[in-house]
A and B are shown apart, each in its own frame.
Chain A
């Protein structure tokens, strides 16, 4: 392994070459503090305030736009009044949907107050369907995720313009839940809807970015064979968003 001192001198040499290409003959290392203008952030507060002041009518419009943009992506979208109804919907869905890789039916859901309210383990208690939750203490999450045909996540935000769910990684919210199972169901609270990508960037920035995050817009797809669109390349082949009002 290259030890840290070699890596360091290596870095200095590399950056020196870059600097030489830009300001030939410069002796000193250029410091960030002398060039703050290139790191000038735009103020996200204004956008955040505007977002927080949205009223019911605004949300009606955002939902309409989100829905419209789901269609070309082959992304199912369903409006439910509350999490109870969402739980009902998922229960019905899980009973009729068929697993792709296994015979048994397993479901994995993010550990989140909203998924708790779905009460899936109760509803499915008498069905041959096992429900797992991604609690941090569980050391078998990886295996359970692989065995599951449905993954349920709660989106941090939704973007209406592109029918996108924003998913920020957290200890009890692993990345694979929305990726490895064949069907991904995303729960999105109405007031988490944003208009466009710029608003999503503003909210992310406002909340502080400390971990990885992902934008998800529809099921996995490929057009690599004769530009023929096929869903389910590597990620989920089917995706549904439940908008909770």
Chain B
């Protein structure tokens, strides 16, 4: 599904006004977010995160070699590997595989990469039925909505909305009981899962040493999608790979802790090729599509390379005070929350997504909770810097020239005592009559009005510290004299 196309502010407002979303966000943040944080603080192997991060960066620095190794191993297993430089390449290849195999029905395991490349509309245009099988994603697909969380896609909907949706779209008798609703979806999806010709999944973490990808789920839909259909196509962002099996284990543990603080998810499956001879199930064809689609540009920039260490666990969403209020839709992207605020501008244009990095508070919580200690706040600041001054490599135009001019003037003003005093006087004059009952300024004229649209401004003090100091200082001197 396409993310919505409303503005960041409107999306945020809608999120704030959605009571269901607010309740779920609180629940998720008080649960997963806090638990993950506690886990890091109390775990015995306190070196795990920095160690895994260092290895992760090492793998990224040798990504060409590691990817070549993975491809070789998968081909040894009889699988196909296709390297897609762009989203279009990946889509074209998938369509070709589907066509050659006369695919009518595709079942999908949750994959953000699949949303990133826009595979669903392409398949549907080719007359192929596409069914999301993760329960949350299935609900989103039925509602023609967009996911609002990486691992809990439909937290903005409540059981009543879902009940109504199932009645409207599936013709079930109305129920708002989660177990009953789950059973309804289980029944319809089981049919799809058992009759589909092709399964499309993402890839949580691939492993070059063993030539496999690994897929994590609690529902079992991903195992179904990779076991029952004749063809399995896995979409993998090119950075989602560990060089060794050992590195894989640490990342897997970090991923699961970051995501849900489980010891292990219900299912973790490792696949790297088609069924072996004599196997009664498993796909007859296995295709891995390794996708660049803007990632090599990030890799080439030392300032942002680190963001590719992300293992998409969603922990930063579960702790971020901004995401925790506005929810996922405001981000207008397949990737939301703090990680989305960094990666979306880098993949889709910094100017086009300027609000995202400015909306975050730089409080640092995302860095503290991130299993690979990604310094998202640093990268958010770097993005803001590029927006302020422009950037050639990322083709960023300075975001707001008036603001830039304003700050230039401000720099001049505060370096001259006289000018500063003047400004104070002017300011005090202008604020007269604007101070509301609560002692705050709640509206300003002209372009400054934007600042007070959603918040109050504290007025200038009637006396600054310097002014008061001067007064008291001189009076003390007089006392001493007398």
Interface residues of A (CB under 8 A from B): 1-2, 7, 10-11, 13-22, 24, 29-32, 35, 38-42, 69, 73, 101, 134, 136, 138, 141-142, 145-146, 159, 161-164, 169-172, 174-176, 179-180, 197-198, 201, 204-205, 209, 211-228, 230, 232-236
Contact = CB atoms under 8 A, between A and B. Distances in A.
Contacts of A201: 245-246, 248-249
B65 A38 contact: yes
B41 interface: no
Given A22-B299, A32-B69, A226-B24, 18 more contacts: A20-B296, A22-B300, A30-B62, A38-B58, A39-B69, A39-B209, A201-B246, A201-B248, A211-B276, A212-B282, A215-B269, A220-B220, A221-B266, A223-B152, A233-B182, A233-B218, A234-B190, A234-B219
B159 A226 contact: yes
Contact of B83 (A15, A31, A161, A230): A15
Contacts of A32: 65, 68-69
B65 A35 contact: yes
Contacts of B355: none
B279 A233 contact: no
Contacts of B299: 18, 21-22
Contacts of A136: 278, 280
Among A2, A31, A176, A226, max chain B CB count under 10 A is at A226
B135 A233 contact: yes
Given A230-B182, A235-B223, A35 B62 contact: yes
Nearest to B220: A235
B67 to A, nearest CB: 6
5 contacts: A14-B292, A18-B296, A38-B59, A145-B281, A224-B139
Interface in B249-294: 249, 252-253, 262-273, 276-282, 290, 292
B281 A224 contact: no
B133 A217 contact: no
Interface residues of B, number: 94
Contacts of B282: 169, 174-175, 212
B65 to A, nearest CB: 5
B85 interface: yes
B83 A175 contact: no
A32 B244 CA distance: 13
A1 B68 contact: no
